[in-house]
Amino acid sequence: METATMMCKTAMLMLIFIVTPSNASMNMQTYIVHMDRTKMTTTTSDRWYESVIESVNELFDQEDHESEKPELVHVYKTAISGFAAKLSTKQVESLKRLNGFISATPDEMLALHTTHSPQFLGLEPGKGLWSGSNLESDVIIGVVDSGIWPEHVSFNDIGMSPVPSKWKGECEEGTKFSKSNCNKKLIGARAFFEGYEAAVGKINETEDYRSARDAEGHGTHTASTAAGNLAHASIFGLAKGLAGGVRYTTRIAVYKACWSQGCASSDILAAIDQAIADGVDVLSLSLGGSAKPYHSDLIAIGAFQAIKNGISVSCSAGNSGPSSSTVSNTAPWIMTVGASYLDRSFEAIVELGDRQIFEGSSLYIGKALKQLPLFYGDQRAAFCIDGSLKKNLVKGKIVICQRGITSRAEKGEVVKSAGGAGMLLINSVNEGEELFADAHVLPASALGAIAGKAIKAYLNSTNKPTASITFKGTVYGKPAPLMAAFSSRGPNRVGLDLLKPDVTAPGMNILAAWPPSTSPTQLKSDKRTVLFNIASGTSMSCPHVSGLAALLKSVHKDWSPAAIKSALMTTAYVHDNLNRHILDVAFSTPTNATPFAYGSGHVDPQKASDPGLIYDITPQDYQNYLCTLNYSASDMALFAGDGFKCPKASSTMEPGDLNYPTFAVNFKKNSKSNIVTLKRTVTHVGIPNVTYTVQMNEPDGVSVMVEPQVLRFKKPGEKLSYKVTFMQKKGFMVQGGSFGVLEWVYLNMYHVRSSIAVTWI
């Protein structure tokens, strides 16, 4: 998915080594090396790692004269046992001979994946989760991203109490960033760039800041979405209102690990490691790469250590939808967040010369364009790539540009430089009816695939095609939520036993804080400055859920990260504001979204604060789950520590037995008798003396039996278990999956809802 200007630019104890680039270093790359702490030969870990360095250098001197020597850069203290180093393949082989070596994983570059959204979520000043008593408690959100613009009004500390004594973090100085940039709101700021510089070279400080200061905008946007202070906001007068983060009184700690060309996984792990040590309560990561086994996923490894320390972790699901099996950040201890629409739009109406009218989207605020000639090129010109448009053909015309290859805003820049008067940005069938609102540099409207098809047919029907564009500004009351086409989808290819993503939240056309030094389009030719900008992506939905986790942590201080996650999942809803099933804009015809797009559904904060029942999971439960995946001892050590042994009971467990709030059922295509039985345990967190009954909406082609069908609880804290048996009906197999719902209901007070997804593999 391209954001307004390809925003993502696609945006333990460890040591990191790095060397100055040279001919020899061309054969070297950064590896994250895991070591067995039980094999320590010295009394302190620092001295042991020094001896490891010495051993590497000795082997280097004896056997490898073509590579450069490593140099110590980072020390990590909580996430895993090991180090990261820039090594040649020969040096990695030499390391494998050292006592205590477990594994070496190549570093990789990952990508970065809001005024009205709190109201859309049902948050009201002075009420419920936004009551004064709840907002007064100290909660710290750690944001791993591209940094922050500390002077922004969203991060002022007026009226805030002193920094809590539990905080151990710092405000690190660097390029145009001093300790005075932190305050009682922004209480910590650090930058991690060693892995990045090892991969791409030294940071160009004319384009970025070698500090926690944000040059991209992404980090400032996500931090303010989660926890920005209340401020009057708009962009060019659009979306005007009082903007605030989901938990606007929360403290913010920023960990900059993302730069102009991406985020090195070793730096992300360093940031998570430091955030744990600093004492954050919630971690928000709007970034990721392709899904991979958990033991190879450094975000999953770091997040697990955070969970063990009671820290809730939210991650973006990715922007690779609507293709199936694209969801990332799929570890069960991570809250994986998809993206959906608000009920707000920015309408730009297009009327063709034959009177056909289409509703588009734009943040352009200039005068309307009267009927002007249309131009649509072929090949490269159809995508409005730089240099593809000839001035004599497009001057004074509205140019039709197909999405793809380059960013949406960049296409407008190309049209403007060629003398075009305006732009119609049309979707392909794969992009469906997705409508991004961008701050285009010329009059422009984004249009869906239906309009795109009609416009092409119109071009073929007349020798003098024309069109006009009228800008209607901000419009509220649109059908919502809708699933964004770009939001990455299940099934979860890493673990088919887990339904991912977990939930969806607002992520389309979100207004939030923006650095004044960065234009709203991020184009160098765009000299406009804004304090707030509209952006889209699961990067925007993730911090909404991080803020909600902080709100729930304020209300339920004794809840585990899994309990908070369960509450948000089982109270989520799947109907829009017209009481229809949530639709998926990836399709040109109205099509219901499925749990592979929204997981449990759209988050509902107020209901999540009193969910009735929760599906709790301990770190030990997660470890037992990993045992069912047949991980090796060295793989398990990454999560459970050195010397961990899987319990004997795990040999009879199945991955699907993890006490997850949703059900992912896998039937074999060629089996004549598909029967799967799963067990769950719920903890009562509501009022005393209640009786829940089960209600089923069975997936097509599947019979479901629940035992028992009634759960009676006398007091809060009580736990009861039940079993669910899924049986394939004879002759049935549903292509693409079959979906249902299991719901535990008490009167009209509690509806504890679990999505069901059945696939044939």
Range in 98-107, 508-517, 592-601, 635-644 with the lowest mean pLDDT: 98-107
Which helix (H) or strand (E) is 190 found in, with range? Answer: strand 186-191
Residues 6+ apart with CB under 8 A from 498: 330, 332, 492, 655, 658, 660, 662, 664
Q: Is the peptide bond before 106 cis (omega within 30 degrees of 0)?
A: no
Per-residue model confidence (pLDDT) at position 25: 47
pLDDT over 90 at 732, yes or no? no
Q: For residue 120, what pLDDT band results from cuts at 50, 70 and 90? A: confident
Domain co-membership, 486 together with 577: yes
pLDDT over 90 at 357, yes or no? yes
What CATH number has the domain bearing residue 577?
3.40.50.200
pLDDT over 50 at 2, yes or no? no
pLDDT over 50 at 407, yes or no? yes
Per-residue model confidence (pLDDT) at position 734: 86
The count of structural domains within the chain is 4
Range in 89-103, 181-195, 551-565 with the lowest mean pLDDT: 89-103
Distance CA 636, CA 624 (A): 10
Per-residue model confidence (pLDDT) at position 676: 96
> pLDDT tens digit string along 137-176?
799 999 999 999 999 999 999 989 999 999 999 999 999 9
Per-residue model confidence (pLDDT) at position 11: 31
Per-residue model confidence (pLDDT) at position 4: 37
Domain co-membership, 687 together with 597: no
Out of 36, 107, 145, 273, which one is annotated catalytic?
145
* Section 725-746 average pLDDT: 93
Where a domain ends, among 571, 587, 607?
A: 607
Asked if 31 contacts 105 with a C-beta cutoff of 8 angstroms, the reply is: yes
Annotated catalytic residue 576: no
In a domain, 112, yes or no: no
Residues 6+ apart with CB under 8 A from 324: 489, 490, 491, 596, 736
Tokens of residue 75, six digits: 């020390």
Per-residue model confidence (pLDDT) at position 14: 36
Domain co-membership, 266 together with 378: no
Q: Regarding beta strands 369-375 and 357-361, do their DSSP bridges make them parallel or antiparallel, or are they unpaired?
A: unpaired
Out of 113, 218, 556, 602, which one is annotated catalytic?
218
In a domain, 66, yes or no: yes
* Section 384-398 average pLDDT: 97
In a domain, 102, yes or no: yes
pLDDT over 50 at 21, yes or no? no
Place of tokens 């004044």: 516
Torsion angle, alpha carbons of 484, 485, 486, 487, to 10:
60
Per-residue model confidence (pLDDT) at position 17: 36
Domain co-membership, 125 together with 102: no
In a domain, 135, yes or no: yes
What CATH number has the domain bearing residue 374?
3.50.30.30
DSSP 237-304: TEEEEEE--TTTT-EEEEEE-EETTEEEHHHHHHHHHHHHHHT-SEEEE-EE-S---GGG-HHHHHHH
Q: For residue 6, what pLDDT band results from cuts at 50, 70 and 90? A: very low
Distance CA 606, CA 194 (A): 42
Per-residue model confidence (pLDDT) at position 555: 94
Where a domain ends, among 50, 84, 106?
A: 106
Distance CA 505, CA 601 (A): 9
Asked if 185 contacts 155 with a C-beta cutoff of 8 angstroms, the reply is: yes
Domain co-membership, 304 together with 355: no
Residues 6+ apart with CB under 8 A from 54: none
Per-residue model confidence (pLDDT) at position 66: 58
pLDDT over 90 at 389, yes or no? yes
Range in 16-30, 411-425, 479-493, 689-703 with the lowest mean pLDDT: 16-30
Domain co-membership, 310 together with 362: no
In a domain, 310, yes or no: yes
Asked if 477 contacts 581 with a C-beta cutoff of 8 angstroms, the reply is: no
Distance CA 700, CA 77 (A): 50
pLDDT over 60 at 373, yes or no? yes
> pLDDT tens digit string along 666-689?
999 988 789 999 999 999 999 999
Domain co-membership, 666 together with 750: yes
| Burial status of residue 687 (CB atoms within 10 A of its CB: 0-12, 13-18, 19 or more) | middle
In a domain, 4, yes or no: no
> pLDDT tens digit string along 38-73?
666 655 555 666 666 667 666 655 555 556 776 655
DSSP 60-104: HHHH-SSSPPP-EEEEE-SS-BEEEEEEEHHHHHHHTTSTTEEEE
Annotated catalytic residue 684: no
Annotated catalytic residue 502: no
Where a domain ends, among 86, 106, 126?
A: 106
Per-residue model confidence (pLDDT) at position 760: 94
Which helix (H) or strand (E) is 17 found in, with range? Answer: strand 14-17
Domain co-membership, 44 together with 70: yes
Distance CA 229, CA 153 (A): 8
Whole-model pTM over 0.85:
yes
Out of 539, 554, 650, 738, which one is annotated catalytic?
539
CA–chain centroid gap for 328, Å, is 8
> pLDDT tens digit string along 279-292?
999 999 999 988 99
In a domain, 206, yes or no: yes
Residues 6+ apart with CB under 8 A from 414: 384, 385, 386, 387, 388, 389, 406
Per-residue model confidence (pLDDT) at position 134: 73
Distance CA 484, CA 487 (A): 6
Q: For residue 731, what pLDDT band results from cuts at 50, 70 and 90? A: confident
Domain co-membership, 133 together with 149: yes
Q: For residue 521, what pLDDT band results from cuts at 50, 70 and 90? A: very high
User: In the predicted model, what is the mean pLDDT of the chain?
Assistant: 90
pLDDT over 60 at 644, yes or no? yes
What CATH number has the domain bearing residue 733?
2.60.40.2310
Per-residue model confidence (pLDDT) at position 126: 83
* Section 430-457 average pLDDT: 96
CA–chain centroid gap for 309, Å, is 21
pLDDT over 90 at 124, yes or no? no
Per-residue model confidence (pLDDT) at position 76: 61
CA–chain centroid gap for 426, Å, is 26
What CATH number has the domain bearing residue 92?
3.30.70
- pLDDT exceeding 90 applies to what percent of the chain? 76
Residue type, 747: L
- pLDDT exceeding 70 applies to what percent of the chain? 90
Domain co-membership, 323 together with 218: yes
Which range marks the domain in which residue 727 is found? Answer: 612-617+659-760
Per-residue model confidence (pLDDT) at position 307: 97
Per-residue model confidence (pLDDT) at position 53: 62
* Section 382-399 average pLDDT: 97
Q: Regarding beta strands 357-361 and 532-535, do their DSSP bridges make them parallel or antiparallel, or are they unpaired?
A: unpaired
In a domain, 709, yes or no: yes
pLDDT over 80 at 84, yes or no? no
Per-residue model confidence (pLDDT) at position 647: 86
Q: For residue 337, what pLDDT band results from cuts at 50, 70 and 90? A: very high
Distances (CA, A) of 203 to 196, 215, 505, 619, 759: 8, 12, 34, 38, 46
Domain co-membership, 364 together with 315: no
Domain co-membership, 229 together with 317: yes
Comparing 39 with 587, the larger pLDDT belongs to: 587
Choose among 346, 345, 349, 274: nearest CA to 305.
Answer: 274
Distances (CA, A) of 238 to 246, 364, 506, 532, 534: 20, 9, 18, 10, 10
Comparing 16 with 384, the larger pLDDT belongs to: 384
